[in-house]
Structure 1
Amino acid sequence: MEFVLVGFSDVPNLQWILFGIFLAIYLIILLGNSIIILITRIDPTLQNPMYFFLGNFSFLEICYVTTTVPRMHRDIWTQKGNIPFLACATQMSFVLIFGGTECLLLRVMAYDHYVAICNSLHYPIVMNHRVCIQLVAGSWISGIPVEIGQTCQIFSLSFCGSNTINHFFCDIPPILKLACGNTIVNEVAVYIVAVVFFMVPFPLIVTSYGKIISNILKLFSARGRAKAFSTCSSHLTVVVLFYGTAAINYLQPKSNQSEGLGKLLSLFYAILTPMMNPIIYSLRNKDVMEALKKLLPKLLT
């Protein structure tokens, strides 16, 4: 009827320190991404497809983190990790949906950068408002039936042994370890979905950036090259951080997975990367920095 999330109970002396750290991280994520959403909506200089996608990406990060961190705070506060069967399935479903959406949205943002730099004359036509809406909607909707189906498949298994999940949220690898019987079909399904959402977009992103870098190097203006590299490096940094840790966690064979390493990787891509995203995009993007300088005095008065 329920599972028990172990969380970080293996470090009992640090529970309240961890509570404070994760609370600070969560507030930083909410504040940082909310500010990016706000400036991309109200600043006239940021009314273009790139910042439209960035605003959607920031909203996605808030949704993604909210599926795990508040529950983790509750578990640390109460010193109990009990989570009902249905609540665990629901949490996993949302984590997978938002994670899959992030993979697709990162691919869309890479395509936007590619068109902006490699096909700049046709950029307003290719990336018109209707196309941007369709790309964002496609990123949000495409993974929903797949991820819900995968969650239903996993939670239709029999769990006849321990109900203790050595993790801080309901993720696929630790749940599969609790299942009875042969789970090879489920593991294959996980790999297939991971390849579709992780390994297919990633080479496309790399290809896009290969062409982008080639075009940037042809620019005569050093200032133009610096601005293009600055814009693209922010997105590329986020791609490497998210894809690297998530791919290792989901594509690694179940028998080879260390529970401690899996927890650390999940902590990185599910919490730390969303915290760093606003910082990365702000510090590496002069347009965002200028918009922030104009917004902060208004917020403080």
Structure 2
Amino acid sequence: MTPITEVEGRRVALSNLEKVLYPATGFTKAEVLHYYATTAEPLLPHLRDRPLSFLRYPDGPDGQLFFAKNVPPGTPDWVTTAEVPRSEGPARMVLVQDLASLMWAANLVTEFHTPQWLIGAPGEADRLVFDLDPGPPATIVECCRVALWLRDRLAADGIEAYAKTSGAKGLHLLAAVRPTPSRRVTEYAKELAVGAEKAMPRLVVHRMTRSLRPRKVFVDWSQNAARKTTAAPYTLRARSEPTVSTPVTWEEVASCTDPGQLVFRAPDLESRVRAYGDLLAPLLDRAGAGALP
């Protein structure tokens, strides 16, 4: 029998709690759910009002992985959904607005991915993002060098950037911007990526061609397109261990000399949030958003 628990007055079915999802560490589904419950306070504001794409891995990262954008079958009627325009036709997608819907979604075993816009203004970006992806043998250490250059370049335009680990190999830079058409934000991000490659030609590549990436950091500017999504802050990733896309300080970025320094797992987050709060909270302050030049 599937256990039913009550979350903020909603009945949520939680299944297979003893199932090991991360065999390398023995991390179970119950621990996944506990992680999301205890990290909900900083996580939920970064999900709220953004239609979610789910990367599901119900049998762990070694099992089948699949993206789900449409509302999954069996979604409770109390979970908020919204129609989202897409080039191939409108779709109905999930909005995780509260703890109950977060726990329902976490029970599906998923990475949370969000667009750079809010449901009230599809295609009007309120965030800018760079995904810094290292081509082996480059690592997150090289990503940190590139991140510092991009931070300073954005600051020159009056835009304050914040960093988080991807939870995989790389680093994400995010900045709050005044609502701007996604096309324009994408163009601006590409301009900066090209500038980074010119400034650091032996370290940076801005083109997606995989043969160009070894030993360099690919500055992926394309995730600003309205149709694209990025792993949300605090989401677990489908990796061998329960790594988390974790906000980090600029001091941590500047001092990183070993990839292990910026690997954070689910059990690490409670103490980090207690020590730092939500390092990405400024992204939620619309009044502090920068304007693109």
Say whether the fold is shared (TM-score over 0.5): no
TM-score between the two structures when normalised by the length of structure 2: 0.28
Higher percent of residues as strand? 2
Higher radius of gyration, 1 or 2: 1
Task: Report which structure shows greater RCO (CA 8 Å, sep ≥6).
Answer: 1
Higher percent of residues as helix? 1
